[in-house]
Structure 1
Amino acid sequence: MIALKHTAIFIAIALLFSILISGSAAMDARSINITDCIGRNTTVPAEINRVISLNADATRIVVSLGAGDRIVGVDSYSLRCPILNKTYPRLKEVKDVGSHISGTLSMESLASLKPDVILLSGSSKDLADKIQAELGIPCVCTYFNVSKVDDFLSAYEVLGELMGKKERSRDIQSFIRNKINGIINVSSAIPKDQYPRVITIGQPLSNDPFKIVTVSSVIDWAGGINAGADSYKGGSPSKVVAIEQIAKWDPDMIFINGLALIDVDTILNDPNWKQLRAVKEGKVYKIYSAMVGYDPAIFMVQPMNLAKIMHPDRYTFDFQEEADKVFEKIYGISKLHPIFEAEFGISNV
């Protein structure tokens, strides 16, 4: 009798242990651990159906992965991006949750949308930690900055896993790497004394020409020297300078941000700029640029654009055709280049 009691107790304990183990396994199956681009470890649902993106770069990547329909809330900067508005018009219907950059972010809106995850920039680590602590919503960060191709692709690796789109992510990563390497392979064979000195002026949705780009990676890839890099002291990738400083640089070419409210003729006909070599020689061009951060298509199209302008004899590809291929690969829409060229005044090269 005692033996039977012991047996019954043993069976009950075994059953309880089995239930606990299976429950734990089921819980594990419903969640995964993600290490984001800045090394934060976060537990997220295994299946992500509702996303809030507070980072325009993350928004673009999620759209390019074919998961844009899962975005239920987005930051104000993503909504203002002219390129995103063309490549993913549905974004206009998504709730604007404000922006932490402009101080309009609404924590109430974040909570009310019941997201599975919130995406942020790598520069927003403190905000990510605060949201997780206060709202209990897992947050995943993209890169802090991009100085090389792998920095950018790290976000594809993380978000591809997060969204269950690993195959699409790796396909895009390979496509991007091949395009950039193709440009660098040509420019690296060009003698450095044949690299033109250039500046990039203007900023999205502004008619101020005196804000210049101070970071150089894309210009370097395409075989140029960014004269404005002398002004980079860390922090913001752009800086306001005076025409006198630009005159000192006297660049061989001037590039205008493609989303700036400035056209080529404005610079060519402005008396303040006519003293410059680039203006005298008519070497002023409007080029593809992103609204803020990095757009995966522009990440390739911009260096292709610059390469074709700076070294037309070295780069034999048809820029119009290649730009269209890139936009179609990333956003699944054909013949976007002629639309952007006409709308933004991109120079024909």
Structure 2
Amino acid sequence: MPLFRLLLVAFFALQLVVVPAVAEAARQFVDAAGRSVEIPDRIERVLAAGPPASVLLYVLSPEKMVGWVRSPSAAEKEFLAAPYRDLPETGRLTGRGNTANIEMVLSMKPDIIIDVGSVDATYASLADRVQEQTGIPYVLIDGAFARTPETLREVAGLLGVGTRGEELASYAERTMDWQKQAVAGIPDAERPRVYYGRGPDGLETGAAGSINMEILDVVGARNVAALSGSGGLSNVSIEQVLGWDPDVILTLNPDFQKSVMTDPTWANLRAVKEGRVYRAPTLPYGWFDSPPGVNRLMAVTWLTAILYPGKGEFDLRERTREFYRLFYQVDLSQEQLDRLLAESMGR
């Protein structure tokens, strides 16, 4: 047989072998924005577009992370597992103060980019643009807190760690179901009215519909700032807070927690008079917020303890230890528990 014909036969034979293999090496994934994205069948390197995605990747499959959106501080690293806590910083592609760029994305050589959180046309446009410029699949995942079990299963399936995802999703379902049953008999009119104060002066908060506040809806509490309208985070005045007169004040900021209990301006608030000013733990991530990711699952237990005393009897310290072992893969010492829970149960 002539050499040319031999080469031609060999070429087509190779196509029969290679083309199906290539076709099987990719799959279609429809993300939360309805975008159909072709993703690798096997994913080993993942880039988080923002902080909620970074937390989700860590709890599901830290060995696949190419880095952190923001390098953990020394205090945060204490509550994260080695060696993942020492991964490099990549910056963020999405949200306020984005610091990443296309050159960084390409240099990290991820198989896929994942963003978790709110999903709208702006986020979809960013995903399309980055994907077009880099050739790297970019998927958007709905990060609504009520969907936490579904989110864990969905991303675990995407990454090929279904067993781990089911373990965490089952924990999330049990926790959320337990909380609903614990407070089921409380009439809406008797549910606690809560103000969440951000920053050192406590005058930034979330209005109705803010992703930063949705955990209150999940546990059946009422956000007093919903009276100011809808949207994301915004600044309010002390006069507005005095008018709302919340039953409970929540914060992440130790300076605000201290000042609200001593500043005469706040003294007449019901929450201050009754000593119901609570600071949510923040290590390695905020229980209530910061970022608004799966880390907030711990707030379901904590908020039940402080908002509904005596309901659903449980040991908060043991629940905390269990969560950190399962999600963050660290075993807490008694001293670490003491520091985490300090000032979290009111002043």
What pairs up with 1:132-281 in 2 under 5 angstroms? Answer: 132-143=131-142, 146=144, 149-150=146-147, 152-202=148-198, 206-214=199-207, 215=210, 216-234=213-231, 236=232, 238-257=233-252, 260-262=253-255, 264-281=257-274
Residue deviations 1:143-177 (CA, integer Å, cap 9, x gap)? 2x52x522x33432332122210111122111101
For 1:161, what is the secondary structure of its paired residue? Answer: helix
Contact 2:195 2:224 in 1 (8 A): yes
Query: Does the C-alpha gap of structure 1 residues 313 and 207 become closer, same or farther in structure 2, counting only changes over 3 Å?
Result: same
Query: Does the C-alpha gap of structure 1 residues 337 and 223 become closer, same or farther in structure 2, counting only changes over 3 Å?
Result: farther
Query: Does the C-alpha gap of structure 1 residues 33 and 81 become closer, same or farther in structure 2, counting only changes over 3 Å?
Result: farther
Which residue of 1 is the match for residue 87 of structure 2?
93
Alpha-carbon shift at residue 129 of structure 1 (Å): 0.7
Q: Which amino acid aligns with 1:128?
A: A
Contact 1:34 1:158 in 2 (8 A): no
Alpha-carbon shift at residue 85 of structure 1 (Å): 6.7
Contact 1:196 1:252 in 2 (8 A): yes
Alpha-carbon shift at residue 246 of structure 1 (Å): 0.6
Q: Which amino acid aligns with 1:72?
A: V
Rg larger in structure: 1
Distance in 1 between the 2:77 and 2:32 partners? 23
Which residue of 2 is the match for residue 322 of structure 1?
319
Which residue of 2 is the match for residue 72 of structure 1?
66
In structure 2, list runs of 5 or more residues that go unmatched: none
Q: Identity of counterpart residues, as a percentage?
A: 23
In structure 1, list runs of 5 or more residues that go unmatched: 1-8
What TM-score do you get using the length of structure 2 for normalisation? 0.83
Distance in 2 between the 1:134 and 1:92 partners? 29
Q: How many residue pairs end up in the alignment?
A: 329
Distance in 1 between the 2:304 and 2:115 partners? 32
- Give me the CA root mean square deviation: 3.0
Alpha-carbon shift at residue 261 of structure 1 (Å): 4.0
Q: Which amino acid aligns with 1:267?
A: V
Contact 1:63 1:88 in 2 (8 A): no
Distance in 1 between the 2:33 and 2:345 partners? 39
Q: Which amino acid aligns with 1:228?
A: A
Query: Does the C-alpha gap of structure 1 residues 41 and 64 become closer, same or farther in structure 2, counting only changes over 3 Å?
Result: same
Alpha-carbon shift at residue 220 of structure 1 (Å): 3.2
Q: Which amino acid aligns with 1:60?
A: V
